[in-house]
Structure 1
Amino acid sequence: MNNVVKSSELSQLFCDFNSVIQSNIVNMLCRKRKKDFTRNRNMNFYSIIYYFIFRNRTTTNADLTHFYSSIDKFERRISKQALNKAIKKLNPNVFTYLINQFVSIYYASSLPKKYRDYLLIAEDGTYMEIPYNVYNINDFQFCMNQHVHDIFDVKKVQSKAGGLYDVTNGLFIDFSLKPAPYSETPLAFAHLYRTKKILKNQKIIYLADRYYGSAEIISHLEFLKYNYVIRGKSNFYKKQVALMQSDDEWIEVEIDDKWLKRFRFSLEAKELRKEKPIFKIRVIKRTYKYTDINHDIHCENLIYFTNLSEEEFSADEVIELYSKRWDIEISYKTMKTTQEIERHISSNGDVARNDIYAKVLFHNIVGVLRKEINHELEKRKTEKKYVVNITQLHVIVHEINFLNCMMYNLKEKIKRKIDNIMKIIDKIKVPVRPNRHYQRWGRVMMSAPSYRFRLDGRNNPKLKKIGSVLMTTFP
């Protein structure tokens, strides 16, 4: 597929998605009450959705000015007070629907890419900070620990977030926000159930960290006919793993009635293990050695669970496959730093949910563009490998007024903007370094900088005096 066809497909994707945003179904889903969003005001239901998705300024007034300037209706700019009334009417569930619809439209196109005929999907969770007030403490709850015994000890309100992320195509297939004490396991099952229809007839490899290697999750993946690569915990199937004669072999695990009672989230997994109580897992062991800043050598034993065959994927290829899961970690970091997903415009809990969901949706919009550009860079036979700078791409999408093109369904204009982005690939690409190119933390500094910012605009690293020297510390 050439670049012209790609930009045409992408512009069609965004126009189709705009049709969904402005549909009657979304109008109904937006409402908390029947009378909400029934009149055509300066900030109607789809305008509010776009406002949330493309919000990127540091203050509400600046965001309002930018939004109405972008859609060429500055004279209809509403006040901050009017905005606060409007955004409290918006139901957060509408963004869950929109994320699902964007992904469905994307997979129905010819744009999705695959890794050796597989879609790589990664599951992981994180915490999102919510504005602090007593209502949000009750709404999002809190985790009790040695420092927090009751509501009066809570200093920070957080929500447990989780996402199912398409590593090959750079977008969240599903995303959830739950109270802070919520476990990541039921979140993972909810994502697998909700995306079952979207991923139907696709060859899937499910990538997950150490907390997702339970027998119930593996059994559910087996029921869905998904392949998986999951980093194992040392106490998972330890009896069977201890009997291994090599670093790469299959083990057999038998699920008895007592074990079966711990299956709480998947009826399908439970029924499957009743019929076939013994299942096989391919276990791969590796020893990872590294040297710390004191030049001390450390060894860490790693273990991986998979059901991929040796004929299709060698042990080294499975480990390399698992390393691709890191893209979801990068996505969370990008949303928290570049997109400032935790910078909210209201202390209202539902508005905070809208802030977060909308940023995930923007991340998906930019994510599919990022993967297309990266794919173009991969086709170049160069000595060094390059990828697009995601921070610069975010800025470009905001500044070239993608908002106006999407909101008014300007397909040809979107296509031209995508073509122009493709033309400046070399100006926004960065080299991929297999290892860090210089030591950022733990570096000895001769003296403290007298200025706050570096020449590229970023902050200078923090310094800590250790003995008689100054050393950079992790921010």
Structure 2
Amino acid sequence: KSSDYKKEQNSLIEKDQLVKIKLDKSRIRHYEGTPDGERMKELGEISLRMVKILLENGSFEVLATNLSQTEFHTEEIKELYHMRWGIETAYETLKSRLQLENFTGTKPILLLQDIYSTIYLSNLVEDIILDAERELDQKEANRKHKMMINQTVSIGILKNDLIYILLETDGQKKNMLFQQIYEDISKNLVPIRPDRHYTRTKGQLAGKYSNTHKRAY
């Protein structure tokens, strides 16, 4: 974050340089009494490579890495940072749209049940969307904007209807139900508008989900 190692970030002279991180008491106190804390006291300082990259919106982002300049030069670090964005959005989907952290209980087995079922649902949604968008690309070639399936609506459809497929014992009916879900998801299209950006919300946010008011699904 921009608030991490602020002194070291402000001391940057070049856009890509090695920086000494002093492991003083303020940085060690959170790890006091742990093996990590003892190791930090032993080392006293560590070296981190800090890379300052220019974002498309004109602002700068400072990345900290232990990858050497011989392994990846500055532009490659920037490319790697961009490539990881797909992973970030996948976590955002799990945490926000699928409410992964909105657990239905507090026992370990219930937590694992919620995690596995949510990831199963996420993978299933992505598979359906991928197939539907491939089919869409073949059919729709003359639109002004390239179209994509609305992920949020797709999740809602699958969350509501998946249980009926899982409970159905007749194979033919099961396939019919799944085909209906596929068709419903395929209808919800949104255009892809290049270079559209949204302001990111920064700062520490309170927990979203109450431990005393649980979702039914």
Please classify the TM superposition score into its range, dividing by the shorter chain length: 0.5 to 0.7
The reply on whether 1:371 has 2:126 as its aligned counterpart is: yes
Contact 2:165 2:178 in 1 (8 A): no
The reply on whether 1:390 has 2:145 as its aligned counterpart is: no
Does the residue aligned with 1:304 lie in a helix, a strand or coil? strand
> Following TM superposition, by how much is the alpha carbon of 1:289 offset from its aligned partner in structure 2, in angstroms?
7.5
Contact 2:48 2:65 in 1 (8 A): yes
| C-alpha distance in 2 between matches for 1:430 and 1:385 | 9
Residue deviations 1:425-446 (CA, integer Å, cap 9, x gap): 6423433334449xxxxxxxxx
2:36 corresponds to which residue? Answer: 269
**Cα distance, 1:368–1:412 mapped onto 2, change above 3 Å:** farther
**Cα distance, 1:331–1:259 mapped onto 2, change above 3 Å:** closer
1:35 corresponds to which residue? Answer: none
1:433 corresponds to which residue? Answer: 193
Residue type of the alignment partner of 1:432? I
> TM-score by structure 1 length?
0.29
Correspondence 1:211-230 to 2 at 5 A:
none
Residue deviations 1:50-89 (CA, integer Å, cap 9, x gap): xxxxxxxxxxxxxxxxxxxxxxxxxxxxxxxxxxxxxxxx
**Cα distance, 1:351–1:418 mapped onto 2, change above 3 Å:** closer
| C-alpha distance in 2 between matches for 1:429 and 1:315 | 34
> Following TM superposition, by how much is the alpha carbon of 1:259 offset from its aligned partner in structure 2, in angstroms?
3.5
Does the residue aligned with 1:279 lie in a helix, a strand or coil? strand
Residue deviations 1:12-66 (CA, integer Å, cap 9, x gap): xxxxxxxxxxxxxxxxxxxxxxxxxxxxxxxxxxxxxxxxxxxxxxxxxxxxxxx
Residue deviations 1:384-431 (CA, integer Å, cap 9, x gap): 6654322332343255x4213324677886666556655666423433
Contact 2:149 2:188 in 1 (8 A): yes
> Following TM superposition, by how much is the alpha carbon of 1:353 offset from its aligned partner in structure 2, in angstroms?
7.4
Answer 1 or 2: higher relative contact order, Cα 8 Å, separation at least 6. Answer: 1
Does the residue aligned with 2:30 lie in a helix, a strand or coil? coil
Does the residue aligned with 2:31 lie in a helix, a strand or coil? coil
**Cα distance, 1:353–1:387 mapped onto 2, change above 3 Å:** farther
Correspondence 1:5-404 to 2 at 5 A:
210=1, 232-233=2-3, 236-256=4-24, 259-263=27-31, 267-274=34-41, 276-287=43-54, 300-308=59-67, 311=71, 314-321=76-83, 323-324=85-86, 325-335=88-98, 363-376=118-131, 377=133, 386-398=147-159, 401-404=161-164
**Cα distance, 1:411–1:273 mapped onto 2, change above 3 Å:** farther
> TM-score by structure 2 length?
0.54
Give unmatched runs, 5+ long, in structure 2. 198-217
**Cα distance, 1:237–1:245 mapped onto 2, change above 3 Å:** same
Residue deviations 1:93-147 (CA, integer Å, cap 9, x gap): xxxxxxxxxxxxxxxxxxxxxxxxxxxxxxxxxxxxxxxxxxxxxxxxxxxxxxx
Residue type of the alignment partner of 2:31? F
Residue deviations 1:179-205 (CA, integer Å, cap 9, x gap): xxxxxxxxxxxxxxxxxxxxxxxxxxx
Does the residue aligned with 2:155 lie in a helix, a strand or coil? helix
Does the residue aligned with 1:245 lie in a helix, a strand or coil? coil
Residue type of the alignment partner of 2:50? V
| C-alpha distance in 1 between matches for 2:174 and 2:23 | 54
> Following TM superposition, by how much is the alpha carbon of 1:247 offset from its aligned partner in structure 2, in angstroms?
1.5
Contact 2:24 2:44 in 1 (8 A): yes
Residue type of the alignment partner of 1:315? I
Contact 2:98 2:155 in 1 (8 A): no
| Length, aligned pairs only | 183
| C-alpha distance in 1 between matches for 2:184 and 2:17 | 48
Contact 1:250 1:281 in 2 (8 A): yes
Compare the two structures and name the one with the higher helix fraction. Answer: 2
Contact 1:288 1:302 in 2 (8 A): yes
Residue type of the alignment partner of 1:304? L
**Cα distance, 1:432–1:274 mapped onto 2, change above 3 Å:** farther
Residue type of the alignment partner of 2:62? I
Root mean square deviation, CA, Å: 4.8
